[in-house]
């Protein structure tokens, strides 16, 4: 009666009669891969906490309590308190059948009579194992669905642009999408790195599975392991239930780690361990779980310079950048400016039910002279503001707000030669001054998150 299930099964037998344990072990080892036996019921909590058993064979009566079955009920409750999904089969004598039936109402799965018939015992255990497998699958699906609900990203539009720079990006996507190669997307803030990651997933063999996006810059060091690897109930103060981490949620699909360059060295080490082992261990557990993910990472940080300065691990970089895709800033793809602006114009006029429908030539001319330090994200936000504030059917320059006023006019041609870091510092200073130091309002104007602006302030010592 040996099956695929029995080959990989793990059974625990608890009985204070050593002869029963010897007989059970001798018979069950012929059918199950792992058989643990225990004569002291006091060891049950430790065993169940540190190992996931497919079936637990539990005697109803121990020496301390001959005949009443109270100890069996007590240890059944203890097992289910530690592992609510545990499958417990009771070992009982003929006279205790009524008590065993009552125990089933309290959470036991089945019972076997002593002395047992080997074939009946084996059939009972195989049936119980299938129940445990079903419970495991339900538990994993529930945890994965909960993680998906928490990680579900909002809708993002298709990639817009046919400039030579973007055509090279499309070519790279087509070449690598169907592979499972790890991809690192490099580009400035606001260039659309997540869109590229989603395009890779959509064109991959994993397209029907989950795409989970993680902003590493928004996760604190203390929550890093819980968010990415999950936790078990009671592992820390707020851990009120088991929860799958982002890697488990993405298993079978794609995980996108944005702002990976912002990870501290200790967190880089933890991430590298997971990528090497392809397993995660939830906080509070010692049971690793295999994960099958396609990894896509992104950063606006100079990771190669960071490797030289020993602020980014070289071995982690080798893990994440099997393929690199460099996403150009908006100023290097001027051909895409008008199509992008018109796309966002139509999006927001419908969203806000506005009559505005076109961009004036004067506005287009001014937009083409502007440097767009916040890239496509800045353009999107500027169009949204303009659509909301516009009075007529045509957007005019006066309807439009240019952050920092950095236009490439003849009187400001010095900006062309200004290093990007200096230009970014200038824009941050102007935005903070304009909003009297209000971080939230300055970040919104610059097209950044609060955490991203704080990192730039720290970077520039501002």
Return the pLDDT at 107: 86
The predicted model gives 162-190 an average pLDDT of: 94
User: Residue 167's pLDDT band (boundaries 50, 70, 90)?
Assistant: very high
Q: How far apart are the C-alpha atoms of 198 and 191, rounded to whole Å? A: 14
Mean pLDDT of all residues belonging to the chain: 85
Q: Phi, psi at residue 188, to the nearest 5°?
A: -70, 165
Residue 65 CA, distance from chain mean position: 49
Residue 155 has pLDDT above 60, yes or no: no
Q: How far is CA 413 from CA 391, 406, 423, in A?
A: 33, 10, 13
pLDDT cut 90: percent of the chain above it:
45
User: Residue 398's pLDDT band (boundaries 50, 70, 90)?
Assistant: confident
Residue 182 has pLDDT above 90, yes or no: yes
Return the pLDDT at 348: 93
Lowest mean pLDDT among 25-34, 183-192, 371-380, 399-408: 399-408
User: Which tens digits make up the pLDDT trace of 65-94?
Assistant: 544 557 788 898 899 888 888 899 988 876
Return the pLDDT at 242: 82
Return the pLDDT at 446: 77
Higher pLDDT, 405 or 266: 266
Return the pLDDT at 402: 75
pTM of the predicted model as reported, rounded to 2 decimal places:
0.59
Residue 315 has pLDDT above 60, yes or no: yes
Domains of the chain are: 4-142 (3.40.50.2300), 164-326 (3.40.50.300), 330-459 (1.10.8.60)
User: Residue 445's pLDDT band (boundaries 50, 70, 90)?
Assistant: confident
The predicted model gives 272-295 an average pLDDT of: 93
Return the pLDDT at 429: 82
Q: In the chain, how many H helices and how many E strands?
A: 20, 16
The predicted model gives 201-229 an average pLDDT of: 91
Higher pLDDT, 380 or 2: 380
In sign, the C-alpha dihedral spanning 246, 453, 363, 394 is positive
Please report which residue ranges of 312-437 form alpha helices under DSSP H. Answer: 314-320, 337-351, 361-369, 375-389, 414-417, 420-434
Residue 144 CA, distance from chain mean position: 10
Return the pLDDT at 440: 84
Q: How far apart are the C-alpha atoms of 245 and 146, rounded to whole Å? A: 10
User: Which tens digits make up the pLDDT trace of 250-282?
Assistant: 999 999 999 999 999 999 999 999 999 999 999
Lowest mean pLDDT among 84-98, 199-213, 278-292: 84-98
Return the pLDDT at 55: 93
């Amino acid at each position: 009666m040996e099956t695929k299930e029995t080959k990989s099964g793990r059974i625990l037998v608890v009985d204070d009669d050593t002869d029963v344990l010897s007989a059970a072990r001798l018979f069950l080892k012929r059918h199950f891969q792992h058989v643990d036996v225990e004569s002291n019921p006091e060891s049950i909590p430790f065993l169940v906490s540190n190992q996931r058993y497919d079936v637990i064979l539990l005697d109803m009566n121990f020496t301390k309590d001959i005949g009443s079955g109270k100890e069996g009920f007590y240890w059944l409750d203890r097992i289910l308190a530690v592992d609510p999904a545990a499958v417990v089969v009771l070992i009982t004598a003929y006279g205790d059948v009524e008590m065993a039936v009552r125990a089933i109402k309290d959470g036991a799965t089945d019972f076997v009579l002593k002395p047992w018939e080997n074939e009946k015992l084996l059939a009972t255990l195989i049936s119980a194992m299938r129940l445990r497998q079903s419970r495991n699958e339900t538990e994993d699906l529930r945890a994965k669905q909960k993680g998906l609900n928490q990680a579900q990203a909002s809708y993002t539009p298709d990639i817009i642009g046919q400039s030579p720079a973007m055509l090279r990006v499309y070519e790279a996507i087509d070449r690598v999408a169907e592979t499972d190669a790890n991809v690192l997307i490099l580009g400035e803030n606001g260039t659309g790195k997540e869109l590229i990651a989603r395009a890779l997933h959509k064109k991959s063999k994993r397209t029907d599975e989950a795409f989970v996006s993680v902003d590493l810059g928004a996760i604190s060091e203390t929550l890093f392991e819980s968010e990415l690897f999950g936790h078990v109930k009671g592992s820390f103060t707020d851990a009120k239930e088991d929860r799958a981490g982002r890697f488990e949620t993405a298993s079978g699909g794609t995980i996108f780690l944005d702002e990976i360059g912002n990870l501290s060295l200790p967190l880089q080490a933890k991430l590298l361990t997971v990528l090497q082992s392809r397993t995660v261990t939830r906080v509070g557990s010692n049971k690793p779980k295999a994960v099958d993910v396609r990894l896509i990472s992104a950063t606006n940080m100079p990771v190669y310079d960071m490797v030289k300065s020993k602020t980014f691990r070289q071995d982690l970089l080798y893990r994440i950048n099997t393929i690199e895709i460099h996403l150009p800033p908006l100023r290097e793809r001027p051909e895409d400016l008008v199509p992008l602006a018109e796309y966002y114009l139509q999006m927001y006029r419908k969203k806000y039910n506005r009559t505005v429908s076109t961009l004036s030539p004067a506005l287009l001319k001014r937009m083409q002279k502007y440097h767009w330090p916040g890239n496509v994200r800045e353009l999107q936000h500027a169009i949204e503001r303009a659509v909301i504030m516009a009075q007529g059917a045509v957007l005019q320059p006066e309807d439009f707000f240019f952050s920092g006023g950095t236009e490439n006019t003849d009187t400001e041609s010095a900006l062309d030669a200004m290093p990007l870091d200096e230009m970014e510092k200038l824009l941050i200073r102007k935005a903070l001054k304009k909003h009297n130091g209000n971080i939230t309002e300055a970040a919104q104007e610059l097209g950044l998150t609060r955490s991203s602006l704080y990192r730039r302030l720290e970077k520039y010592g501002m």
